[in-house]
Amino acid sequence: MPAIERKLVEGQAAPFSHYCHVVRAGDLLWVSGTVGIRQDGSIPAGVVEQFDVALGNMDACLKAFGAGAENVVKVTVYLTDVDDRALINPARQRYFGAHRPASTLVEVSALVLPELQVEIEAQAVLG
């Protein structure tokens, strides 16, 4: 069994529960759900801005293990309004470019804070 390494990533919001930001086991990475909370604790009002911040937070977690968009094999996006998919899609296209991951999009009734509108989790492969 490969060693398991768990990280709390500097600059990320403190976990809302008992988890860490990213876990590595061998060549596999799992990034916990990232949301649109900036390093200063503020939350943008709009879903597009929240998604941009959440992508940046996800990227910081990937980079903590030397990974990036090209390593992501699966993302799950949670939206409080599924109709916002069209609004966030341009940022997804910019971030992933030619490295399209498998993806699931789910509408949820709420996220951990009432002002949050989007959350992203990712799975990646190193090497």
Q: How does the average pLDDT of the chain come out, rounded?
A: 96
**Distance between CA atoms of 35 and 49, rounded to whole angstroms?**
11
pLDDT for res 87: 98
Split into its structural domains, the chain has a count of: 1
- Does the pLDDT of residue 110 top 90, yes or no? yes
Q: Residue 127: pLDDT band by 50, 70, 90 thresholds? A: confident
Give the chain as a 3 state SS string.
CCCEEEECCCCCCCCCCCCCCEEEECCEEEEEEEECCCCCCCCCCCHHHHHHHHHHHHHHHHHCCCCCHHHEEEEEEEECCHHHHHHHHHHHHHHHCCCCCEEEEEECCCCCCCCCCEEEEEEEECC
Residue 110 is part of which domain span? 4-125
| pLDDT 10s digits, 71-85 | 999 999 999 999 999
Instruction: Give the domain CATH number at 77.
Output: 3.30.1330.40
Phi-psi label, residue 26: left if phi above 0, alpha if psi -120 to 50, beta otherwise: left
